[in-house]
Amino acid sequence: MMRPDLHMHSTASDGTCTPSELARLVQRADVTLFAVTDHDTMKGLPEAIGAAYDRGLAFIPGVEISTEGDEEVHILGYGVQHDDPVLTAFFDQMAQERIDRFRTMGQRLLDLGCDLPLDEIMAGAGASIGRPHLARALVKAGYARDLQDAFQRLIGKGCPAYVPRAPLAASKAISLLRERGAVPVAAHPCLIHWPMEKLLPMLKVWQDAGMQGIEVYHPANKDMYSFWDRYARDHRLLVTGGSDYHDGTPGHGLIGETIPAWRTAGEDGWALYQAARK
């Protein structure tokens, strides 16, 4: 039976492991099917595909798209082609927008008297440059007491150096993934900070736009597994799950950790694997 972990991040976005190191950890955790789902980039996928092949692991190439500005609505895409020209151009543009936003916020911080080495921060940040990097630099340079202080006074929503993200509608990301032959899945519904009266109708809208699954077995959903499992099956959506592994800290999941509570992991993993290969 398959033991799936369908959500993890590599150094191509904000994880601390290279795709090859992830494959090693996957094997060590007895996971037999995995997906690498970096934020807004497919750059880790070629290495992940090679590492999965070398270890005889089943693999689904994936991506996790940040949508709806700062609302933390993340859309997973499974079965993406890592050299798809349309998706590559799309993610390149997102990367450029991230850089532009980072620089604008850096300029505002400078206007406030916080002089940060922006180029140096960018060089060390990898693909998903953003506010966490600014926050760490503010602490390091002594402009903030700690990360929380940096967000509360300077770069959090509504603060003087805050610049909102250009909002991408989740339904747009979903229809794009679908057009490019990938399987769109709503990630970790419990991390979407909308009341149910808003979230449930939105899920309908997303399903109409082409969404095919819900990530039920994510650590953040722990108290809601049975609710989301039933919701997905009632709506003929695929049930997926994964640890959202980033760096091995308990704040994010550990590889394979959602499998014990996921009774149908084998069947659900297989169903996604099949759908993503179509």
| List of residues contacting Zn ion (CB under 5 A) | 64, 74, 187, 244
- Cα separation, 77 vs 63, whole angstroms: 5
CB of 125 to Zn ion, least distance (A): 17
CB of 68 to Zn ion, least distance (A): 12
CB of 36 to Zn ion, least distance (A): 10
154 vs 255, beta carbon nearer Zn ion: 255
CB of 66 to Zn ion, least distance (A): 8
- Cα separation, 228 vs 164, whole angstroms: 31
Beta strand ranges found along the chain (DSSP E) = 4-5, 33-36, 58-67, 73-78, 183-186, 213-217, 238-241
- Cα separation, 65 vs 102, whole angstroms: 18
String of DSSP letters for 204-249: HHHHHHT--EEEEE-GGGGGGHHHHHHHHHHTT-EEEE---BSSS-
4 vs 106, beta carbon nearer Zn ion: 4
CB of 31 to Zn ion, least distance (A): 16
Sort strands 33-36 and 58-67 into parallel, antiparallel or unpaired.
Answer: parallel
74 vs 133, beta carbon nearer Zn ion: 74
> Which are the contacts of 117, defined by CB distance < 8 A and separation ≥ 6?
137
The token pair at 46 is 């070629």
75 vs 137, beta carbon nearer Zn ion: 75
Report whether 254 contacts 245 (CB < 8 A): yes
71 vs 84, beta carbon nearer Zn ion: 71
The CB-nearest residue to Zn ion is 74
112 vs 254, beta carbon nearer Zn ion: 254
CB of 219 to Zn ion, least distance (A): 11
| Burial (CB count <10 Å: 0-12, 13-18, 19+), residue 57 | middle
